[in-house]
Amino acid sequence: MTKLRSDLRNIAIIAHVDHGKTTLVDQLLKQSGIFRSNEQVDDRAMDSNEIERERGITILAKNTAIEYKDTKINILDTPGHADFGGEVERILKMVDGVILVVDSYEGCMPQTRFVLKKALEQNLKPIVVVNKIDREFARPEEVVDEVLELFIELDANDEQLEFPVIYASGFNGTASLSPDVSTQEETLRVLYDAILEHIPAPIDNRDEPLQFQVSLLDYSDYVGRIGIGRIFRGTMQVGQSVAVIKRDGTVKNYRVTKMSGFLGLKRVDIQEAFAGDLVAVSGMENIDVSETICPADHLEALPELFIDEPTLQMTFLVNNSPFAGKEGKWVTSRKIDERLQSQLQTDVSLRVDPTDSPDAWTVSGRGELHLSILIENMRREGFELQVSKPTVIVKEVDGVRCEPIERLQIDIPEEHTGSIIESIGERKGEMLDMINNGNGQVRLIFNVPARGLIGYSTEFLTLTRGYGIMNHTFDSYQPMAKGKVGGRRNGVLVSMENGTATPYSIMQLEDRGIMFVGAGTEIYAGMVVGENTRESDLTINLTKAKQATNVRSASKDQTVTTKKPRIMSLEEALQYLGDDEYCEVTPVSIRLRKKILDKNERERVQKKK
């Protein structure tokens, strides 16, 4: 008879972006009585990183644990964005069940499908939480039908199809077993009880030889790399001598110097842990995801964890613009290289490759969001650098050049259907499905080459007047689409002089396009200062001042008013970049510039092409 650890449950919370995972974890933490009554707990306490809090997204998976009815429940909050899908996959290896959170209005979205598919493949027991039950236009019964259809479509087995459904409002911390809002209880008790009842307890095989696998990485300046994972078998103690089976099959011997468990938002130092426990282990330099820790006299590796391959790459360069070194603290190639290497300590889906130049690196990641968050973190830390336009990574499959294809789901008001289908068609997209919800909203599903989606979101928002919702996840590698896919239609306005942009010049040139800089902005020759109304680039002088004369005119000078410039965020700037441009990123500014600053030199290169 298999012995179980009835005092322990391991679960992951999975969902599409913005369906309320982190808020639900907050309430589970607050209601579990783990905090003192006078303890200040932030909203979305699990999102500890500054960018996570600002954007309201989860970037890194977080561990927490609560106590309920003498049972410890380890909870892992996972990211919802496709760019961080690799995290989700590895976390699911550490748990025995999942809570699938679905928005009571939006229903199943692309990421819901992605995370549920991964959970069912691991044969995990699901609990479905229909969240935001108090939302206007909530349609809980229809959403449960959608979820059931998705389970069937993803080949769930009979046991998985018998999932319990809980209707909740994570924001209010209420839940019930009925879709009727009036039946909501003031606590999440029904969810706690469902976890104890439906999620399998881990097997207790603590007397057998140790097996521990690293699923996540953390880093501390004091102890170096920290491996977070689950003990699948046996017992682990501080001071114990262990062997680490590396991913290439080599074995290294270490001693466990420190071990922590999780409780609430804190890590608690522990001396001993058993099969089923989730722990963080230090004392093993260069430990990596997927490696197995076991006794030296009983080497047995666990199956390797899958790590998502990067699909997008950019070149990071030392800033060499005329304004280099004016706004940043760290500007040298040595500092940038150190920073990229330290990022590799914890980010498994990132690759950094040197180039022919000591001042440039090829950085590959899972998508635009993945790379832009790295750049945003670097600029906040005081780094100054330049980056090139993101390009997709092309693979050879059976001698054929293949590119990544994304599965794109679009929800839009009916009247915009035609223009969206046309714009995706131009980007070599293939329509898979069109669902009319009957409430004036249409859902379109496409397969589109990933390079066709670079820079598409700005055009998408314009076409749908801001009413559209777009989500995409990686689908597969397929043979390269012929011809030009996507890209920017209009040329840019490029400065020909160094100096300060004047209101007079801006007024004179406003009809040539949209300006990216306002009066008083310092600019340099070769800097992109606006978008041209035509397809070609145009070099302009924005530094000209009005000639002063001593003749007064009868109409005298009117107050000069210029149009508001279009200021881009980092993501918008990266999406806007052309092939011959760089984005200059400093702690203070984001500027676009031509790779070749000199106008004559640029024209010479253009003619050669």
- The annotated binding site is made up of 18-23, 131-134
Tokens matching residue 107: 């229903």
Distance CA 326, CA 524 (A): 14
What are phi and psi for residue 420, nearest 5 degrees? -70, -45
CB 211 within 8 A of CB 232: yes
CB 310 within 8 A of CB 349: yes
Annotated binding site for GTP: 18-23, 131-134
**Residue holding tokens 């990686």?**
474
Which residues in 271-286 are b (16+ Cβ under 10 Å) and which e? eebbbbbbbbbbbbee
Tokens matching residue 575: 């999406």
Residue from 495, 508, 491 nearest 540 by CA: 495
Strand, helix or coil at 85?
helix
Query: What interhelical angle do 110-121 and 85-92 show, nearest 10?
Result: 30
CB 483 within 8 A of CB 428: yes
CB 245 within 8 A of CB 301: yes
Distance CA 161, CA 166 (A): 15
CB 338 within 8 A of CB 603: no
Q: Using H for helix, E for strand and C for coil, what is the string for 338-391?
A: HHHHHHHCCCCCCEEEECCCCCEEEEEECCHHHHHHHHHHHHHCCECEEEECCE
**Residue holding tokens 């009247």?**
415
What are phi and psi for residue 369, nearest 5 degrees? -65, -45
Alpha-carbon distance values, 47 to 78, 357, 373, 473 (Å)? 11, 38, 15, 23
What are phi and psi for residue 504, nearest 5 degrees? -60, -50
Residue from 390, 389, 391 nearest 580 by CA: 389
Task: Name residues whose C-beta falls within 8 Å of residue 557's C-beta, 6 or more positions apart in sequence.
Answer: none
Distance CA 586, CA 593 (A): 13
